[in-house]
Amino acid sequence: MKRLSTLIVMSGALIMTSCVSKKKYVALEQELQETRSTLQKTAVEKDELEDKFAKIEARVADYNAKINSLRDENNEKMVMVDGGVAAISNNTKEKMKATLAKVDQQKLQNATSLKDSMNLAVSYNLKNSLSDDLKNDEDISIDIDNTVVMISISDKMLFNSGSYRVSSKADNILKKLAEVINSEPSLEVMVEGHTDSRTINNAVVQDNWDLSVKRATSIIRKLQSSYSVDPAKLIASGRSSYKPLVENDSKENMAINRRTRIVLLPNMDKFFAMLSSN
């Protein structure tokens, strides 16, 4: 009897042990399946990430190639102008050389920098693109400062004395200037009015400030209305008599100080191409 009881106890223990082992096995098997599934998913994600990374690398390499190409192209075009940089192609350099061969050789000998040479070439081309009666240095002067083209025009070429109404004498020069301005979409143009030191006050003009601004605005309106210059490009400003070129101590000097200055920031290639065609 005692032996039978022992067998029954042992059998029960074996059954309990068998049940526990099966549960653990099922749990481990489930964990293994989940791990396999996670591993498979991770492998897929890894392949996708590697594919994305390869595409990104290819795009970066393509961008670098384009950047290097643009840099090389730009290096061929860029030259230093007294500390500034001007975008000038080899073709434009050749045009400059051809133009400089035509300028006054005495002036050319005095050109000691690239800026001086550009100044001479642009001045020569621009003046020759204007009508013959506008070529006198007393009436129009052109200068370049770090690729900014500054054109100063005597007031007698644009206005009657003491007036801000644009004279018909200005038509030729304003037409040519409009062609320059319209040739470059990104160009901005500032028109500055300058007077001499004599005080002016009448029914339509309050003082020299008023006259200088009115003259600048009149030029801008003319460029917009008669020559289709985009008004978004234009800036009007007046400097009164406070930026004289010379002392206002004679009639001749006062005439020099009475001027309109037009400041252009052009693409030099397009600027030369337009001027060289005239």
Mean pLDDT for all residues in the chain: 76
Task: Tell me how far apart the alpha carbons of residues 92 and 82 are, in angstroms, rounded to a whole number.
Answer: 18
Task: Tell me how far apart the alpha carbons of residues 226 and 173 are, in angstroms, rounded to a whole number.
Answer: 13
Task: Tell me how far apart the alpha carbons of residues 10 and 266 are, in angstroms, rounded to a whole number.
Answer: 104
pTM comes to: 0.55
Q: Are 210 and 165 in contact (CB under 8 A)?
A: no
Among candidate residues 87, 78, 111, 80, the one with its CA nearest the CA of residue 97: 111
Task: Tell me how far apart the alpha carbons of residues 138 and 134 are, in angstroms, rounded to a whole number.
Answer: 9
- Beta strands 84-87 and 78-81: pairing type? antiparallel
pLDDT at residue 60, rounded to an integer: 79
Tens-place pLDDT, residues 216-271: 999 999 999 999 999 999 999 999 999 999 999 999 999 999 999 998 876 666 66
Tens-place pLDDT, residues 172-219: 889 888 887 887 777 789 999 999 999 988 888 999 999 999 999 999
pLDDT at residue 259, rounded to an integer: 93
pLDDT at residue 20, rounded to an integer: 53
CB atoms within 10 A of CB 1: 5
pLDDT at residue 83, rounded to an integer: 46
Does residue 81 surpass a pLDDT of 50?
no
Q: What percent of the chain has pLDDT over 90?
A: 26
Q: What is the mean pLDDT of residues 123-149?
A: 63
Does residue 163 surpass a pLDDT of 90?
no
Lowest mean pLDDT among 50-64, 126-140, 147-161, 253-267: 126-140
